[in-house]
Amino acid sequence: MRTGGHGSAERDFARVVELTGTGLSPQDVVAVARGGAKVALGEQARRVMEQSARVVARLSDSAEPVYGISTGFGSLATVAIPVERREELQRALVRSHAAGMGPAVEPEVVRAMLLLRARTFAMGRSGARPAVAEAMLALVLADALCEKFGNDSVEDLCAAVERYRRRLRPIDSR
């Protein structure tokens, strides 16, 4: 882990950008990525994320085949995963993407990527729990940055959260 300064942009440390489950303006992204603005997950976003996570939890306990929940991924999409191994499937997915290569990405780019992925989760359509978005926002707020995220996919960002989550405040399962 390395920390990165907020560049030469004007600092806006008093500003708080709230993720509501709708879009962010370019000004919001710049304020967080370059200006030092704080960011928080709003109650509306928390509610829709919890609702979406409940759907995924229900599907993960059923025999119904659902891509990436009760089946494998890609060419293994037709392979059924037993209920007792589905949590392992999700962990394996994160681990399989926990690598990257190439030069470091500018700190403001990493902050923007984490913010935008957390915003996507905050929309409540992915099944991610609020704790996932909060962990990503904690990385932004702690200015905890890492090297390039492989192919910049959700899984790569989740891997980064997993690697650094123990260095941050404990994350509950709200």
Please check whether residue 41 is in contact with residue 118, taking contact to mean a CB–CB distance below 8 angstroms: yes
Contacts of 65 (CB under 8 A, 6+ apart): 71, 80
Residue 112 lies in a domain: yes
Here the CATH number for the domain that contains residue 56 is 1.10.275.10
Whole-number pLDDT of residue 121: 94
Residue 89 lies in a domain: yes
Tell me whether strands 16-19 and 38-41 are parallel, antiparallel or unpaired: parallel
Residue 171 lies in a domain: no
State pTM to two decimals.
Answer: 0.73
What total of structural domains would you count in the chain? 1
Tens-place pLDDT, residues 114-165 = 999 999 999 999 999 999 999 999 988 887 665 444 555 555 556 666 655 5
Residue 2 lies in a domain: no
Nearest Cα residue to 156 out of 78, 101, 74, 82: 101
**Angle subtended by helix axes 107-122 and 43-60, to nearest 10:** 70
Residues in the chain predicted with pLDDT less than 70, given as ranges, are 1-13, 98-101, 144-174
Catalytic residue (one of 22, 43, 51, 67):
67
Residue 65 lies in a domain: yes
Whole-number pLDDT of residue 146: 52
Q: Is 67 a catalytic residue?
A: yes
Q: Which domain holds residue 142?
A: 8-166
Whole-number pLDDT of residue 77: 93
Residue 105: left (phi > 0), alpha (psi -120 to 50), or beta? beta
Q: Return the structure tokens found at 149.
A: 């995220």
Residue 174 lies in a domain: no
